[in-house]
Chains A and B, each alone.
Chain A
Amino acid sequence: MRPFKYTNAKDVPSATRLLTANPGGRFLAGGTNLLDLMKEDVERPNELIDISRLGLDQIKTIATGPHKGGLSIGGLGKNTDAANHALVRQHYPLLTQAILAGASGQIRNMATNGGNLLQRTRCPYFYEVSMPCNKREPGTGCGALEGINRLHAIFGWSDKCIAVYPSDMSVALAALDAVVRVRDAAGQERTIPFGDFHRLPGDTPEKDTNLNHGELITAIELPKNNFAEKSYYLKVRDRASYAFALVSVAAALEVSNNRIDQARIAMGGVAHKPWRALQAEQMLVGKEPTEANFRLAAEAAMADAKPLEHNKYKVELGRRSIVRALQVAMDGKRS
């Protein structure tokens, strides 16, 4: 690991000012992604600004504004605490499941909610510094494009980068129409709708998100919804637990009189950001929650998939995972 200066931030204003002043610096939250990448020499910050003692870990009902009645989750709270908070479990069980599907108990005790959103891809070529990678070193090419791309994207990729984004938590947040609240060094706050937070690779895969350098994620806000009764996070991976998703599906339904009033389908493991199947969601509205209708929706969701040489399996896996996730969301039976 390269030498770096360690700075303990005293409060939010000084943390954002310190980072804004140093383009080579990074915030240190749980450290579970950043320190790993520093050991690999992928990340090379000259300063770590420790934000782990700034508080910002409260979970509370939003009292005013457009999301009144929704839930605000502190950006520096731990994943374990977000997953197990009574209000999250009761009103957003999809988020609880998605968080608990990720990593391990130890890692979730360390990982923060903001850090989780900003975790970087697990593309093996990104991790291996002797390989070309446009995300790590813009302009060097993409090692995975013509390489072993079994784990890579089937939607929204470009010939500059075919990586997938690994967070499970974010797939649920995408389905739940979350909003990310951030603050800059001038004390200005802004909110970013979840769909605009992460980016597709395009010509600039080095930029994962639309967060600016120096901005701090202070909270994640969840609007009120009626999905708590019928939702499910399905994660398919190479081993039963403690592995990243090959494909995952966050599914949520609102049903009355045997008709679907609203549907949410977001996928993980298939693109450079959580992938919302908006067309499939629309198709389900007004329909009966039957397996046949779930199949039609799944077909529609996967219609535009563009698999690569080694990941064609993800198309059929995605289709079946959507049907399965919707079924479990509907009847609550996992097996």
Chain B
Amino acid sequence: MEENEKLQLTEDEKKLFEDLMPEDLDEILDTGVNRRHFLKLLTLTGGGILAYQAAAAEQVLTRPLNAPPAELLPASIENGVDVSFKVNGAAKKLTVDSRMTLLDTLRERLELTGSKKGCDHGQCGACTVLVDGRRVLSCLTLAASCEGRSVKTIEGLAQGNELHPVQAAFIKNDGFQCGFCTPGQICSAVAVLEEAKRGEASYVTENVRKISGAIPLSDEEIRERMSGNLCRCGAYPNIVAAIREVYSGKPVEPTWKFVG
């Protein structure tokens, strides 16, 4: 089962270990990163390394050191359902309790904790993911109903080390404060751009009888379409700015500046 698979290193990561700690490479490839490697890596990265290495190191450091602890495996499953679906391109096959939501499955069984549980009742949007290309709420989706579907989470948006344009725009425009709502906001925004391109209307779209082709995204359209994603930090103006920037392809002037 998926949970027990060994850590697979990416090409970038392999190169990093080859450069920084060649003597440990074989062991790492064989048994994965252990605590000793981790500490060594920390010292090396702390000492200042090249940018591409820093990026790769960050990836390794933020990944779990070992196979998931036993607690991650469910203690008991009632009414088990076997499901196979894709998550961020990788095939997953697991047995879930019929009550398990997609959100809990991503977070608790597949260690993809990017999608957040804000309310667990469909009211906040923090758990937004893309299923078969459409944004949905993973807290109101049963994992059992995902057979054959393709799920994309915040973890699957970047191409390698290249951020998705919406991710980059959120960083540039300060589209968050605490960051809790951000994965949901970004997944939702990615879908909003596609929905508008496909000509899907919103409640504020004027005369739906006259729509032909893509719908222009005014700030009012962006706000209405993003209204299913709440942000308790109130980063809304900057979230709208980030989306407007990606949509228009033109840099948006920040509404703030550094003092001095």
> Is B250 in contact with chain A by the CB < 8 A criterion?
no
Report A220 CB to chain B, min CB distance, Å.
19
Question: Which residues, 24 to 83 on B, are CB-close (under 8 Å) to A?
Answer: 78-79, 81
**Interface contact B134-A109, CB-CB below 8 Å:** yes
How far apart sit A107 and B145, CA to CA, in the bound complex (Å)?
16
**Interface contact A28-B122, CB-CB below 8 Å:** no
How far apart sit A235 and B120, CA to CA, in the bound complex (Å)?
26
Report B64 CB to chain A, min CB distance, Å.
28
Most chain A beta-carbon contacts within 10 A, residue among B137, B195, B206, B229:
B137
> Is B84 in contact with chain A by the CB < 8 A criterion?
no
Complex: chain B residue closest to A127, CB-CB: B121
CB within 8 A of B192: which of A30, A105, A110?
A: A105
Do A228 and B98 form a contact, CB below 8 Å, given A8-B147, A35-B142? Answer: no
Render A78-116 as a binary contact track against B, CB cut-off 8 A, 1 for contact: 001001100001100100110011011111011000000
CB within 8 A of A228: which of B134, B136, B209, B211?
A: B209
Q: How many residues of B are counted as interface, with CB atoms below 8 angstroms from the partner's CB atoms?
A: 43
Residues of chain B contacted by A242 (CB below 8 angstroms): 227-228
Question: Which residues, 201 to 230 on A, are CB-close (under 8 Å) to B?
Answer: 228
Residues of chain A contacted by B101 (CB below 8 angstroms): 35
Report A110 CB to chain B, min CB distance, Å.
5
**Interface contact B201-A96, CB-CB below 8 Å:** yes
How far apart sit A6 and B199, CA to CA, in the bound complex (Å)?
36
**Interface contact A31-B141, CB-CB below 8 Å:** yes
**Interface contact A36-B208, CB-CB below 8 Å:** no
How far apart sit A109 and B98, CA to CA, in the bound complex (Å)?
22
CB within 8 A of A109: which of B136, B145, B202, B208?
A: B136
**Interface contact B79-A5, CB-CB below 8 Å:** yes
**Interface contact A240-B137, CB-CB below 8 Å:** no
Q: How large is the interface on A (under 10, 10 to 19, 20 to 34, 35 or more residues)?
A: 35 or more
> Is B244 in contact with chain A by the CB < 8 A criterion?
no
How far apart sit A48 and B81, CA to CA, in the bound complex (Å)?
12
Question: Which residues, 188 to 206 on A, are CB-close (under 8 Å) to B?
Answer: none
Report B219 CB to chain A, min CB distance, Å.
13
Complex: chain B residue closest to A333, CB-CB: B206
> Is A241 in contact with chain B by the CB < 8 A criterion?
yes
Complex: chain A residue closest to B206, CB-CB: A334
Complex: chain B residue closest to A86, CB-CB: B211
> Is B161 in contact with chain A by the CB < 8 A criterion?
no
> Is A20 in contact with chain B by the CB < 8 A criterion?
no
> Is A4 in contact with chain B by the CB < 8 A criterion?
yes
How far apart sit A111 and B144, CA to CA, in the bound complex (Å)?
17
Residues of chain A contacted by B79 (CB below 8 angstroms): 3-6
Report B55 CB to chain A, min CB distance, Å.
31
> Is B225 in contact with chain A by the CB < 8 A criterion?
yes
**Interface contact B140-A32, CB-CB below 8 Å:** yes
Question: Which residues, 189 to 212 on B, are CB-close (under 8 Å) to A?
Answer: 191-192, 195, 199-203, 205-209, 211
CB within 8 A of B228: which of A84, A103, A332?
A: A103
| Residues of A in contact with B (beta carbons under 8 Å apart) | 1, 3-6, 8, 28, 30-32, 35-36, 39-40, 48, 50, 52, 80, 83-84, 89-90, 93, 96-97, 100-101, 103-107, 109-110, 228, 235, 240-242, 332, 334
| Residues of B in contact with A (beta carbons under 8 Å apart) | 78-79, 81, 97-99, 101, 120-122, 125, 128, 134-137, 140-142, 144-145, 147, 188, 191-192, 195, 199-203, 205-209, 211, 223-225, 227-229
Q: What are 14 inter-chain pairs, A to B, with CB distance below 8 A?
A: A3-B97, A5-B79, A6-B144, A31-B140, A39-B121, A48-B142, A50-B145, A100-B205, A101-B203, A105-B195, A106-B125, A107-B137, A241-B227, A242-B228
